Structure 1
């Protein structure tokens, strides 16, 4: 009895060991305990930017027409650590800016060592160029020595430009952009019945104009 029991127990234990070993081997072979690894990720779909999402705001001519040199002087206070704007002012870390508008870019202040990025830009300081420079100096002249990040508000830039023009003059401001013309009233489509207003206007146009009365004889 004991021999049979021991034999049966041995076979059961052996079968369990075989089953456990088979499970381990199959798991190692099929990597069942690991997440599947994707060699190359799927591609991303880039959405198209919506057109006309941001309002461009007033044009430069309109901003300059309403610009205030006194307000620009307050904004220019951020620049006084490096620049002067008075006539005969000394160059500092940056050049004196008196009379800069309309002058050659990167060359107007005698004796100042401009960066090649600015002195090699070419052209004169137009209001458009000054606006771009004040908005993003490094974007306007990549490699400039000026570390100022720029003025993000268009009104602040316009006021500073007005302040610079007040100190040394400059060309006339660009004209404000003309307002968009309103759509004219649509003409009646041929074959459609005219509205009451159109019919009244047509009737009035068809009526003859009374001639002036003849001169009364004495």
Structure 2
């Protein structure tokens, strides 16, 4: 016996609800903060101008485009998930290898520095030679201007507004 169209629709609706609920815990969940609103061109100009040299001359849009290479492994939003790489929100001023919930390599756990523009510039130029033994497989950003723009973009996008 074939179910009626109404029974099929109801069954599909219940199945859709069950799939949508997958992964949700039955307890009280901590709501995630919504991502910050996009900056206006004026806000971007003010934020870039407030950065230290050489980042105060950066091209924000080029930095955003350069981050596309990083997006497959990193998030930048407050409370964003760790992926193949750690969430980068709040990275500047953070001790290397110290983002909660991320499984760092022994090399980064043993590193004794704090992330700033200079450290990140050296890391992005060639992660393998900057800190041998780390698990980042990314070859690096060879272009100096792309790195400068990317770091400026990160300074703005990973800092509280």
Write out aligned runs for 1:155-174 (5 A). 155-169=145-159
Task: Note if 1:133 corresponds to 2:123.
Answer: yes
2:54 counterpart SS class = helix
d(CA) in 2 for partners of 1:144, 1:89: 22
Stretch moving more, 132-141 or 68-77: 68-77
Q: Structure 1 residue 164: deviation in Å? A: 1.2
Structure with greater Cα Rg: 1
Q: 1:69 aligns with which of 60, 66, 78?
A: 60
d(CA) in 1 for partners of 2:93, 2:53: 19
Write out aligned runs for 1:1-218 (5 A). 62-107=53-98, 109-169=99-159
When residues 134 and 73 of structure 1 are mapped into structure 2, their CA distance, relative to the original with a 3 A threshold, is: same
2:68 counterpart SS class = helix
Q: Structure 1 residue 71: deviation in Å? A: 1.8
Identify unmatched segments of 5+ residues in structure 1.
1-60, 171-218
Q: Structure 1 residue 102: deviation in Å? A: 1.2
The answer as to whether partners of 1:105 and 1:121 remain within 8 angstroms in 2 is yes
1:158 counterpart SS class = helix
TM-score with structure 1 length normalisation?
0.47
The answer as to whether partners of 1:63 and 1:155 remain within 8 angstroms in 2 is no
Q: Structure 1 residue 87: deviation in Å? A: 1.4
Q: Structure 1 residue 118: deviation in Å? A: 1.3
Q: Structure 1 residue 116: deviation in Å? A: 1.0
Q: Structure 1 residue 70: deviation in Å? A: 2.6
Whose relative contact order is higher, 1 or 2, with alpha carbons under 8 Å and at least 6 apart? 2
2:155 counterpart SS class = helix
Identify unmatched segments of 5+ residues in structure 2.
1-51
Q: Structure 1 residue 86: deviation in Å? A: 1.3
Q: How many pairs align? A: 109
The answer as to whether partners of 1:105 and 1:124 remain within 8 angstroms in 2 is yes
RMSD after superposition: 1.5
